[in-house]
Structure 1
Amino acid sequence: MPAAVQRMLDAANAGDGDAFLAAFTEDGVVDDWGREFRGADAIRGWSDDEFIGKQVSLDVTEVAAKSGETVVTAQVGGNGFNGPSHFSFRVSGDLVSRMTIRE
């Protein structure tokens, strides 16, 4: 798993919103089931409402490389969505440029 992706997952599991945001490129994007959040302010708002703010936990069950992306399958827990989910990450340098969430 790329170090940038691991840092992002670790930050989410630690409930560290600042570290989570710091793992993104300046123009980073979260695509949560087709809803896109671009840039730190938009991603922070989404995360506060639906991700880290819901005390998300991500128990990684599989990691694969597909078409230049890292696809992480995880069991999601917390006070929001609970269940299996797939997270696809695009990495640029040592930061994540895009995180896409699908079931």
Structure 2
Amino acid sequence: MSSSAPDIVNRYFAALNSRDGESLLGLFTPDAVVVDEGQTWRGASEIRTWVDDVVFRFEYTAGVLGVESAGDGEYVARARLEGNFPGGIVELSVRFDLEGDQISRLENAA
């Protein structure tokens, strides 16, 4: 297990915190898959919808609590979100599957 995050994971959380949708979208492969809130989004068009309708639905900050390697090109980050969503605070597990310097699959779980 590694406690250091690859650059792509750091860039993901930086894009979330700056609410930079274009930078966030640029982190994903064209055929990437996102699983969040019980739904699955596939490919660039659906992931753009996820960013617009889910990721930026509320205002929040995301703090990374730690990152561990989960295998070849796979990482799991623990993050704490604080914002204006119901409950105001949540800790998430965010799984990243990487292809080179892009995200091929991202899965959020509370």
SS across alignment from 1:54: coil
Where does 1:34-73 land on structure 2 (aligned, <5 Å)? 34-68=38-72, 69-73=74-78
Per the normalisation by structure 1, the TM-score is 0.89
Where does 1:10-25 land on structure 2 (aligned, <5 Å)? 10-25=14-29
CA RMSD between the two structures: 1.5
2:108 maps to a residue whose letter is I
**What is the CA distance between 1:23 and its match in structure 2?**
0.3
SS across alignment from 1:84: strand
- How many equivalent pairs are there? 103
The 4+ residue runs of structure 1 with deviation greater than 6 A are none
Q: Deviations over 1:5-38 (max 9, x none)?
A: 2111111111000000000001111111441101
Where does 1:26-41 land on structure 2 (aligned, <5 Å)? 26-41=30-45
Question: Bigger radius of gyration, 1 or 2?
Answer: 2
Per the normalisation by structure 2, the TM-score is 0.84
Structure 2: runs of 5+ lacking an equivalent: none
**2:60, 2:32 → 1: CA distance?**
20
Q: Percent identity?
A: 34
Structure 1: runs of 5+ lacking an equivalent: none
